[in-house]
Amino acid sequence: MKLLTSTILTAILSYALPASSRTIPITLDIVNAQGAPDGFKRSMVTANGTYPGPLLTATKGDTLVVTVHNKLTDDTMRRSTSIDFDGIFSSTSNAFNEGSSFVTTCPIAPGESYTYTVPLIDGQAGTFWYHSQLSVQYVDGLRGALIVYDPEDPQRHLYDVDDENTIWQVGDWWHNTTLPLLAGYVATGIVPVSDSGTFNGVGRYQGGPEVPFHVVNVQAGKRYRFRIINTSARNVFTMSVDSHNLTIIETDGTNTAPMTVNQLDLLAGQRHSVVLAANQPVANYWINAPFVGGSPARNLNQNATLSRGILRYKGAPNADPASPMTLGPAEAELNALVEANLRPLITSPAPEADINITLNLVVTAGKAQWNVNNVSYLSPEVPTLVKILEGANSADDFNVTENTFVLPANKIVQVIFPPSDDDEEHPFHLHGNNFWLIKSNSSEEINTANPVKRDVAGVGSTGTIVRFSTANPGPWFFHCHIFWHLQAGLATVMASGLDEVRKEVHPTSAWNKLCPAYDALPADEQ
């Protein structure tokens, strides 16, 4: 099977904006396919045979009905699967369709199918993505964009073009498959270092073939809304476009007050929409997407300078830019994003906290083990949601290694991450909800007056504080989006309103069959 590197399958999955809400049927066949995103051919885990997976689009208020057929056969990677729709809110009653393996569901066994019904609630719109939520499986390729359009976007006057061609997906890529990579991590405690980075599904590695860079076409005089998604399992990408500014108008699905920069970092799982005015002379310009994630000395294939695309004006030659490849703006010209300076489009103070939780992150030296408050998370055999439905009512009803915090409904929870000695910033992601970013790791400022809301924030050397509401009860995964660290234990579950969950959650018979089917599998098919 030839692996497509397009970000879209518009004939199948991209839809025109409707006048009213709809139910959108989508089929994802999860298959092994041969591909070479950076010129190195290998077997991959894909949705519908593409990397990235097909673009999913919807309009605010729609309902996605996503039928997943698991057709995986390659035993060098996980053969079961589970799909998470990253950043999409989940109502309490629909928690069983949230897709977090061993938290809200069991994985889909090979040869089996499951249909996720995903209503888009609370007026949610913006830039999201989907990926496997089983172990580190999405490292093997199962990831793609999910865009929810808002016909009444309050910032629509700032741009002229926002379509399937204005989505930028950056990601880390490995030449080896995940089971041997994970075995090496467990044996050494050294997180695998990627071979390359990809921009909309294509990249290059040091000494590899000169795979053509992805081209983004623009027309002089128009303004473009580019939706940038970091689909990495580890790497931080630094985005810029030679000779152009970028005006941020959205962060993780939240409209933000316009902020003009010429460079911005995205941690794994983070998203931004930026407006670029095509106001430069007609030519080709580099889109710079260098990355960091572990020491390049551990993987000599890595050359972050080769991670990039081309912004091509209409009328420019079909050629690479004449300017040299750089990592971005020179220091004297740098106007980089400082996360703490982001503000919501509509000013809104964060509510006062009712509950305070402190999470200390510690790595065990020389081992593939991370602890949160001295506990290394291990996925339970019985999913958290199943235990709640069967009567679990306190932290004592869960294994210690599930690191589950039992919280009351309708409260505001403040989570404090103290400063860390670790030299890597950890992108902590909350499922089912988002949070107010009270203190960003990028600043010492405490901001309760008008903090931005997002669902992935960095935790590192200066400390981070977030607040979230438990008005939407459920067992929601809260973990590092460096999936190697998640697999090594850097995760918790925020389980709120357990009585409300039991009253509102009524799983389907198809969901009830997932665990027995998965549990019956031999280990090499799980």
* Amino acid (one-letter) located at 173: W
Residue with tokens 């057709």: 71
**411 and 263 in a common domain:** no
Q: What is the pLDDT of residue 424?
A: 86
**The pLDDT of residue 202:** 98
The pLDDT tens digits for 188-240 are: 999 999 999 999 999 999 999 999 999 999 999 999 999 999 999 999 999 99
Report angle CA 43, 47, 53 to the nearest 5 degrees.
Answer: 100
- pLDDT exceeds cutoff 80 at 370: yes
Residues 457-480: b if buried by 16+ CB within 10 A, e if exposed: bbbbebebbbbbbbebbbbbbbbb
In terms of domains, do 122 and 182 share one? no
Asked if 61 and 185 sit in the same domain, the reply is no
Q: Residue 201, class by beta-carbon neighbours within 10 Å (0-12 exposed, 13-18 middle, 19+ buried)?
A: buried
> Could you tell me the sign of the dihedral formed by the alpha carbons of 457, 434, 290, 325, in that order?
negative
Together in a domain, 126 and 240: no
On the question of pLDDT at 2 being above 70, the answer is no
Domain end marker among 337, 368, 395: 337
Structural domain includes residue 346:
no
DSSP character for 386? H
Domain around 125: 10-152
Q: Are residues 198 and 316 in the same domain?
A: yes
DSSP class per residue in 469-514? E-SS-EEEEEEESSHHHHHTT-EEEEEE-HHHHHHH----HHHHTH
Cis peptide before 383 (omega within 30 of 0): no
| Reported confidence tier of residue 20, pLDDT bands at 50, 70, 90 | low
- In a domain, residue 114? The reply is yes
Note whether 196 and 39 are within 8 A (CB): no
Structure confidence at residue 3 as a pLDDT band (50, 70, 90): very low
Domain assignment of residue 436, yes or no: yes
Q: What is the DSSP string of 145-176?
A: EEEEE-TT-TTGGG-SB-SGGGEEEEEEE-SS
Strands 370-372 and 474-480: unpaired
Which residues touch 181 (CB under 8 Å, ≥6 apart)? 136, 139, 174, 192
User: Do 510 and 381 share a structural domain?
Assistant: yes
CA 512: distance to chain centroid?
27
Instruction: Supply the pLDDT for residue 236.
Output: 98
- Whether pLDDT at 434 is above 70: yes
416 occurs within a structural domain: yes
Tell whether 481 is covered by a domain.
yes
- Residue 348 pLDDT class (50, 70, 90 cuts): very high
Give yes or no: residues 62 and 89 share one domain.
yes
Amino acid present at 2: K
Q: Which pLDDT band, with edges at 50, 70 and 90, does 423 fall under? A: confident
High-pLDDT (> 90) share of the chain, %: 94
Q: Which two tokens stand for residue 230?
A: 């970091």
Sign of CA dihedral 49, 51, 54, 60: positive
**pLDDT exceeds cutoff 80 at 12:** no
Q: Please report the pLDDT score of residue 422 as a whole number.
A: 80
- Which tens digit of pLDDT belongs to each residue from 281-294? 999 999 999 999 99
Is the pLDDT at 244 greater than 70? The verdict is yes
Mean pLDDT estimate for the chain: 95
Burial class (CB in 10 A: 0-12, 13-18, 19+), 290: buried
Q: What is the mean pLDDT of residues 489-499?
A: 98
The first and second tokens of residue 196, run together, are 């390359």
Q: What is the mean pLDDT of residues 355-384?
A: 96
Q: Are residues 189 and 215 in the same domain?
A: yes
Domain final position from 293, 308, 337: 337
Asked, for residue 181, whether it belongs to a domain, the answer is: yes
Q: What is the domain-level CATH number for residue 467?
A: 2.60.40.420
Judge if 373 and 490 occupy the same domain. yes
Cβ proximity of 31 and 93 under 8 Å: no
Spatial distance between the Cα atoms of 146 and 117, rounded to a whole number of angstroms: 15
Q: Is the pLDDT of residue 14 over 90?
A: no
Distances 78 to 133, 292, 301, 378 between C-alpha atoms, Å: 11, 26, 25, 17
pLDDT given at position 7:
36
Indicate whether 301 pLDDT > 70.
yes
Are residues 391 and 514 located together in one domain of the fold? yes
Domain shared by 229 and 361, yes or no: no
Token duo for residue 470: 């438990």
Can you give the pLDDT at residue 300?
97
Domain-embedded: residue 433 = yes
- pLDDT, position 188: 94
Q: Compute how many other C-beta atoms are within 10 angstroms of the C-beta atom of residue 21.
A: 14
**Domain edge (last residue) among 337, 363, 392:** 337
Domain count, the chain: 3
Nearest CA among 42, 89, 99 for reference residue 61: 89
Is residue 10 scored above 50 in pLDDT? no
321 falls within a domain:
yes
> Are residues 362 and 504 part of one domain?
yes
